[in-house]
Chains A and B, each alone.
Chain A
Amino acid sequence: MMMSSLPFLFGFLAVGLLLYYATPLRTVRYAVLFCLSMALCIWEAPPVFPVLIGTIVLTYFLGLGIAHYKKRSAKKAAVLFCLSLLLTLLPLLLCRLYTVPTLSEHLMRPAFTAFPAGIAFCTLRIISYTVDLYCDRTDVQKNIIRYSIYVSLFVYMSTGPIVLYHRFANSLESREESLSLFAGGVRRFILGLSKKILLADTLFSFHTYFSDAEKFTSSVIGSWMSIVCFGLFVYFDLSGYADMAIGLGSMFGFRLPQNLMYPLTAHSVTDLCRRFFTTLHTWLNVYIYDPFFAKKEGRRVWRICSVIAIGVLVTLWHGTASTVLLAGAVLILSILAERSLSHFRIPQIVSRIYTLVVLSIGLTFLSHADAAQAVQHLLMMIGVRSAVFCTPTICYQSLRVLPVILIAILCATPLPKTLWIRLCGVDLTADHVDAAVEQKRTAIQNLFCCLSVVCLMLLLVLCIAHLTDSAPRLSFYQLLQGDAK
């Protein structure tokens, strides 16, 4: 059940909110959250459920063990055991490196593609907890319910953001539901839902149209439109789900970190990767870069090694399909090139264009299931293999999607948000609207605030209307994992 589906909105969420807020006791509310998360897992992928429960219980006791043993070597052994367990489990569950017929057959079914990603996110969270414990960054979590909520809270279960335990522990222990947090969450959620349904899904349907049309006529414009639509789909899909997760988190009293920082405005590929999946980037920095590479930063070889190692990890985490690997290779090579050319001053306009070009190449690989097709598509984009520049039908279709693309590009920059904050005098999607800002606001700004709430509700109605007509499309991660391409 994806967060952008009718059963989620009018079944799961409705029941969840009712149960949660009808429960008076805080400790019981944790149990409600736990049950909701497990219910979602059972609903979505029943075979995964025992694996998830098993992993949670095992790593919980390992965590207790790490905290209990005073001896460094014993701690180390426990951490290593935990990590090796998770790292074998991770690819197994992603059914990428190993093929276990019975389990992977289950997991490969389209209905289940949501969860391998969810499990991968869970694994990163467990690693974060275990390593944090080992490094004494945090106290041990003695409450198994709270621990499983940290690992598998339904709001970020299958989408991210990836929360680091030592940063999240506070939010987990001392949550405070409030009206302003809830309302901010609602606004954020609606914004995310609109991003996913109105922009991402629409763009994806145009992407499939253009890539299918290639079988009949190959045109330069068509191949570019296909990639532009796909790129914007990826951004709005991730950003939409991240906003929905953050919004839902707020509704239940959690504060979750930002996941995307306007990647399309990046001025270099390094910047792009940093902005693209911020929480994954942070995770890698804290748990891979800092312990293994940070001390040796002075040596040039190690710098290159760190880029390659982290790049390979990120790539493998996204998939082992040949096209995913190639996309990863393109990005890693560009980052290495940027590092070696960093002492040259390059005009910003040039570097931005270069970033977009590399991004388009990467996206072309990601959008194809077959590497040879992707290369052909690239050739088509530069007019080598395409028969014509544009055909009337492609032109018609492009003109239809153009307004959506322009709106999407505008929304992928910080501009609308800045404008919105300027008009309303306050960031309505922030998880906590500051009381101090209130005094400074004018009547017009208040009016705009009310107006924007009305607009958001209209967006919600539009999203519901869209959902009654067509089922939500797969998310980017589901596309990467399943063979739905």
Chain B
Amino acid sequence: MNKIINIITTVIFVSLIAVISVSFWIARDVSFSDEESRSLTSFPKLSAEHLVSGDFSADMQEYYMDQFPQRGLFTGINSAAKMLVFGENNGILLGERGQLAVRLFQMYQSRRERTPDMDYYYEDNVRISLEGLNAFAQAQSRPLATILPPRTVDVAASAFSYPTEISDALWSLIGQTLTPETGYIDMLPVFREKYENGDYVYMRTDHHWTTYGAYLAYVKLMQTWDMEDKILPIDAFSVESIPNFFGTSYSKARLKQVTPDTLELWTLGNDTEFTTTCYASKQSKDEQGNTVITKEPYLSFPSWLNREYLDQRNKYAAFLDSTHNEQTVFKSTPSEAQRERLLIAKDSFANTMVPFLAQHFDLVIINLAGGITSLTSYAEEYDCDRILIVYNYANLIENNHLASVK
């Protein structure tokens, strides 16, 4: 009997090692992982210098991880096991109704010290960002509104056993620090209430809000600007549903059994009368040697959707063709009344608000993460009447773009 057991042990072990090793070396390298939407490591460069510095062995480790045979199966086993034991994987919580939420964030640090992702935030850094915004609001003569969309973990709190302690602290820090001049619109209570009623305000597999969530923010914004009479009712829109959307949280959690989201496209009338144009700024020197910044449109498409993305994995990128530093959404057919111009300084959360706002305003959209120089100069350049800032909690923790808005 001992012999049989020994034979079983040896045969399974040796064949497992042999089969995996052989298939690892035989299989062709995969360059891109659709599941995780990132490119995979290829065979490391072999040189004496790399070998001596130890980079080669470190790269080899990554190469093995990325090109491992049946990688999807193994990572699936791993995340399923972790979800079973810890109720989360890679810092992604799994809640009721298959809700996924990022719990750990890379905190912004001015020092060059690397910290692992945490559920905490540096209060000082957040405060500096908020005070930057306060100073900007103080100096601004145009009507200003600020929407700071909360994270899924803040909104969908009831779906998880995860405590709301840190969410609440961050929320009250924002509420207390921002001055009335910033036109801060507090969305968290609204979203929490809606979420608890079972409304689909935040995506299950993505970190963004749904189009309905964006609509709620739009309604609140219009109320703040005393334009309640102009608010478009929900039933005015026709809804096109794009099924099978697996978002960013799904890619990180690597959990197989999750119900996909449905991306909703809300349209009112003929949206092809709008044109989205993306601009690139170029620095050049004129004859006197002064730097001249010239702007050139490099991409232009009707409406605000790039429908090519709807067949791809990252469906959310269809809105405004993903991220561009400077975009305008103007109505091409001249309307009878003069339309106001709205400058939106934003992160990706604002993209789903565009369909609503474009009905009332000509939009100038500036990406806050794109190294902007001065919002006021943009507002002057485009002769904007109002300014809206949309900046998500996660970005507030992870970056400091707000601190330097001018």
Give the residues in chain A near B115, CB-CB below 8 Å.
212
Closest to B80 in A: A465
Interface contacts beyond A449-B1, A471-B61: sample of 18 additional A-B pairs, CB < 8 Å, sorted by A: A6-B65, A7-B64, A10-B21, A10-B24, A11-B60, A14-B21, A109-B54, A180-B2, A186-B10, A212-B115, A216-B118, A395-B163, A404-B85, A433-B6, A441-B1, A449-B5, A468-B78, A469-B254
Give the residues in chain B near A15, CB-CB below 8 Å.
21
Q: Within the assembled complex, what's the spacing in Å between the Cα atoms of A223 and B6? A: 45
Does B280 lie at the interface of the complex (its beta carbon under 8 Å from any beta carbon of A)?
Answer: no
Residues of A that sit less than 8 Å from B by CB: 1, 5-7, 9-11, 13-15, 17, 42-47, 109-112, 179-180, 182-184, 186-187, 190, 208-209, 212-213, 215-217, 391-393, 395-396, 400, 403-404, 426, 428, 433, 435, 438, 441, 446, 449-450, 453, 456-457, 460-462, 464-469, 471
A7 touches B57 (CB 8 A): yes
Closest to B66 in A: A468
Does B71 lie at the interface of the complex (its beta carbon under 8 Å from any beta carbon of A)?
Answer: yes
Closest to A186 in B: B13
- 8 Å CB contact of A438 from B2, B14, B120: B2
A391 touches B85 (CB 8 A): no
A183 touches B5 (CB 8 A): yes
A17 touches B85 (CB 8 A): no
Complex interface residues of chain B between 1 and 57 (CB less than 8 A to chain A)? 1-3, 5-10, 12-14, 16-18, 20-21, 24, 51-55, 57
Give the residues in chain A near B14, CB-CB below 8 Å.
17
A112 touches B2 (CB 8 A): no
Closest chain-B Cβ to A107's Cβ sits at a distance in Å of 10
Does B177 lie at the interface of the complex (its beta carbon under 8 Å from any beta carbon of A)?
Answer: no
A396 touches B161 (CB 8 A): yes
Give the residues in chain A near B77, CB-CB below 8 Å.
461-462, 465
Closest to B77 in A: A465
Closest chain-A Cβ to B382's Cβ sits at a distance in Å of 42
A187 touches B9 (CB 8 A): yes
Q: Within the assembled complex, what's the spacing in Å between the Cα atoms of A112 and B58? A: 11
Closest chain-A Cβ to B366's Cβ sits at a distance in Å of 33
Closest chain-A Cβ to B274's Cβ sits at a distance in Å of 44
Give the residues in chain A near B88, CB-CB below 8 Å.
400
Q: Within the assembled complex, what's the spacing in Å between the Cα atoms of A111 and B68? A: 22
Closest chain-A Cβ to B297's Cβ sits at a distance in Å of 43
Does B237 lie at the interface of the complex (its beta carbon under 8 Å from any beta carbon of A)?
Answer: no
- 8 Å CB contact of A468 from B3, B18, B74: B74
B12 touches A457 (CB 8 A): yes
Give the residues in chain A near B2, CB-CB below 8 Å.
180, 426, 433, 435, 438
Q: Within the assembled complex, what's the spacing in Å between the Cα atoms of A186 and B75? A: 24
Q: List 26 A-B contacts (CB under 8 A).
A: A6-B65, A7-B57, A17-B17, A43-B57, A47-B52, A111-B58, A180-B3, A183-B7, A208-B116, A213-B120, A392-B165, A403-B85, A433-B6, A441-B1, A446-B1, A450-B8, A453-B8, A453-B12, A457-B12, A460-B13, A465-B77, A466-B78, A466-B81, A468-B71, A468-B75, A469-B78
Does B87 lie at the interface of the complex (its beta carbon under 8 Å from any beta carbon of A)?
Answer: yes
Does B340 lie at the interface of the complex (its beta carbon under 8 Å from any beta carbon of A)?
Answer: no
Closest to B55 in A: A111
The 3 closest A-B pairs by CB, nearest first: A111-B54, A392-B163, A183-B6
Closest to B162 in A: A396
Closest chain-A Cβ to B216's Cβ sits at a distance in Å of 28
A46 touches B51 (CB 8 A): yes
Closest chain-A Cβ to B192's Cβ sits at a distance in Å of 17
Q: Within the assembled complex, what's the spacing in Å between the Cα atoms of A209 and B120? A: 11
A10 touches B20 (CB 8 A): yes
Closest chain-B Cβ to A312's Cβ sits at a distance in Å of 32
Give the residues in chain B near A187, CB-CB below 8 Å.
9
Q: Within the assembled complex, what's the spacing in Å between the Cα atoms of A298 and B351? A: 84
Decide if the interface of chain B is mainly helix, strand, loop or mixed: helix
Q: Within the assembled complex, what's the spacing in Å between the Cα atoms of A468 and B20? A: 12
- Tell whether A391 pairs with B165 under 8 Å between CB atoms, given A9-B17, A10-B17: yes
Closest to A446 in B: B1
B223-250 contact mask (Cβ, 8 Å, vs A): 1 or 0: 0000000000000000000000000000
B107-133 contact mask (Cβ, 8 Å, vs A): 1 or 0: 000000001101110000000000000
A5 touches B85 (CB 8 A): no
Closest chain-A Cβ to B399's Cβ sits at a distance in Å of 19
Q: Within the assembled complex, what's the spacing in Å between the Cα atoms of A111 and B58? A: 7
A213 touches B118 (CB 8 A): yes
Closest to A426 in B: B2
Decide if the interface of chain A is mainly helix, strand, loop or mixed: helix
Give the residues in chain A near B162, CB-CB below 8 Å.
396
B5 touches A428 (CB 8 A): yes
Give the residues in chain A near B16, CB-CB below 8 Å.
457, 460
Give the residues in chain B near A6, CB-CB below 8 Å.
61, 64-65, 68
Closest chain-A Cβ to B7's Cβ sits at a distance in Å of 7
B21, B55, B87: residue with the most chain A Cβ atoms closer than 10 Å: B21
- 8 Å CB contact of A465 from B64, B78, B87, B161: B78
Closest chain-A Cβ to B169's Cβ sits at a distance in Å of 10
Give the residues in chain A near B20, CB-CB below 8 Å.
10, 464
Q: Within the assembled complex, what's the spacing in Å between the Cα atoms of A453 and B6? A: 9
Q: Within the assembled complex, what's the spacing in Å between the Cα atoms of A110 and B54? A: 9
- Tell whether A13 pairs with B17 under 8 Å between CB atoms, given A428-B5, A462-B81, A468-B71: yes
Q: Within the assembled complex, what's the spacing in Å between the Cα atoms of A215 and B163? A: 19
A469 touches B79 (CB 8 A): yes
Does B190 lie at the interface of the complex (its beta carbon under 8 Å from any beta carbon of A)?
Answer: no
Give the residues in chain B near A426, CB-CB below 8 Å.
2
Give the residues in chain B near A45, CB-CB below 8 Å.
54
Closest chain-A Cβ to B383's Cβ sits at a distance in Å of 45
Q: Within the assembled complex, what's the spacing in Å between the Cα atoms of A435 and B5? A: 13
Complex interface residues of chain B between 198 and 233 (CB less than 8 A to chain A)? none
Closest chain-B Cβ to A316's Cβ sits at a distance in Å of 26
A468 touches B65 (CB 8 A): yes
Q: Within the assembled complex, what's the spacing in Å between the Cα atoms of A457 and B266? A: 52
B5 touches A46 (CB 8 A): no
Q: Within the assembled complex, what's the spacing in Å between the Cα atoms of A45 and B51? A: 9
Closest to A180 in B: B6
- Tell whether A7 pairs with B120 under 8 Å between CB atoms, given A46-B52, A392-B163: no
Q: Within the assembled complex, what's the spacing in Å between the Cα atoms of A395 and B162? A: 10
Does B292 lie at the interface of the complex (its beta carbon under 8 Å from any beta carbon of A)?
Answer: no
Q: Within the assembled complex, what's the spacing in Å between the Cα atoms of A7 and B12? A: 19
B1 touches A467 (CB 8 A): no
Give the residues in chain B near A404, CB-CB below 8 Å.
85
Closest chain-B Cβ to A81's Cβ sits at a distance in Å of 31
Does B62 lie at the interface of the complex (its beta carbon under 8 Å from any beta carbon of A)?
Answer: yes
Closest to A399 in B: B161
Q: Within the assembled complex, what's the spacing in Å between the Cα atoms of A323 and B57? A: 31
- Tell whether A438 pairs with B78 under 8 Å between CB atoms, given A111-B58, A400-B87: no
A183 touches B10 (CB 8 A): yes
Give the residues in chain A near B173, CB-CB below 8 Å.
none
Q: Within the assembled complex, what's the spacing in Å between the Cα atoms of A215 and B58? A: 30
Closest to A403 in B: B85
Q: Within the assembled complex, what's the spacing in Å between the Cα atoms of A183 and B13? A: 9
Closest chain-B Cβ to A394's Cβ sits at a distance in Å of 9
B74 touches A182 (CB 8 A): no
